[in-house]
Amino acid sequence: MAELVPVPAPVPAPAPVPTTYRERLAQFKILEEKRYELIEELLDKLDKTEAKLTQTELDLNSEQNVRRTLQSEVVEAKERENALAQRQARRPFVILLVDADADGFLFQDKYLTRRASGGENLADELLVRMREYLRPMFEDADTLDIIVRIYSNLEGMANYLVRQDKVRNLGQLRAFSTGFCGRISSFDWIDVGVGKEGSAGRKVRESLSFYTSNSHLRHLILACSPADLPASLLSTLPLPSITLIESHPLPPALTALPLKTARFPTLFTPPPPPPPPKSPKARGRNGGGALQLMQQENGDGGSTWLVIQPERSKSQGGAGLMRGRGGGRGGEEEGDGDSSLSISIGPDNTVSVDSGRRRRIMS
């Protein structure tokens, strides 16, 4: 098989050299046109470059203006921050809010029972305890303003203390609160009156929301029932600036929050212990028998009706008075003469009360 030999490409023939002046002139015209095209292309690129340069210069000026504006705003913000810090440093304060109607936050008897002097002693003791509590937290604790707001229903508190034989009347408690307010100018005892709308718990919650938004507040100490402090409210507040005074054990919803807690046993009476579980039968004042609900039948007509009577001791003897449907008022039977009480309700809606010695019948 014969070997294939590559054939070289034909060499283009050289362009004919112009010989006449017209041919040479035509060649010069072609060269001039190409030179003009090149110049036009360069000028077009120059125009575009100058337009981009102008836009870049405008953008740079705009960025410089924005940067200068931001720098001036930063300077103004720092000046405002410094001015605010100076204003806060002038009169920072700590406030104590107390719901004196809440269980566990009744002040001790050594204050409540001494009228105006007791209120003055309580104000002095509160100031001392607040300073002691704040010193580990703030270096300037001794120069902070201490504000105290105590909310309560004075009339309801007075009625309770009268029943406890601690005061004789409302006037003594008012003298106590007046002595407290007059001792220190920033201490106030506010009487919220009677009724749900004026409850001390609501006042404390409103004051809590108000004071925590104050820029001068350094710390807030709160003495309030956990039932009046929903976790949804506390979670919206600056919790590191709040201390909760604990009397009863706090519910899990509050212990889960980053709250400081404290106790002030020298100020508040400890809450009463929980009542013992109730027995099935309610005992009488003198330790007698409990009330019993019985169902008995009248032997005459066979009708069924209810008798309510105390359980009798062995020394008291038999049952009390019973009345049947057909007996009428003349069908009364005397009891055994003891001092127990028997209440009978007949089928005709008559009520008979027998104390053992006297009997009353009411229709």
The per-residue pLDDT for 225 is 86
What confidence tens digit (pLDDT) does each residue in 155-171 have? 989 999 999 889 899 99
In a domain, 68, yes or no: yes
Distance CA 335, CA 360 (A): 12
Do residues 72 and 108 both lie within one domain? Answer: no
In a domain, 285, yes or no: no
Provide the residue-wise pLDDT of the chain in tens; the chain has 363 residues.
556 666 666 766 666 666 788 888 888 888 888 888 889 889 999 999 999 999 998 999 999 999 999 998 999 998 888 887 777 667 889 999 999 988 889 999 999 999 999 999 999 999 999 999 999 999 989 989 999 999 999 998 999 999 988 989 999 999 999 999 999 999 999 998 876 555 888 888 889 889 988 888 999 999 988 888 888 888 888 888 999 998 888 888 888 888 899 999 889 987 766 666 665 444 444 444 444 445 444 444 444 444 444 544 444 443 333 333 333 333 334 444 444 555 665 555 556 666 544 445 455
Do residues 215 and 298 both lie within one domain? Answer: no
Do residues 124 and 143 both lie within one domain? Answer: yes
Do residues 258 and 340 both lie within one domain? Answer: no
The per-residue pLDDT for 299 is 47
The per-residue pLDDT for 287 is 46
The per-residue pLDDT for 146 is 94
CA distances from 359 to 289, 324, 334, 351 (A): 21, 16, 8, 11
Question: How many independent structural domains does the chain possess?
Answer: 3
Distance CA 295, CA 188 (A): 60
Residue 283 tokens read as 């005992």
Do residues 151 and 49 both lie within one domain? Answer: no
- Residue range of the domain that includes 357: 291-323+334-362
Distance CA 71, CA 81 (A): 15
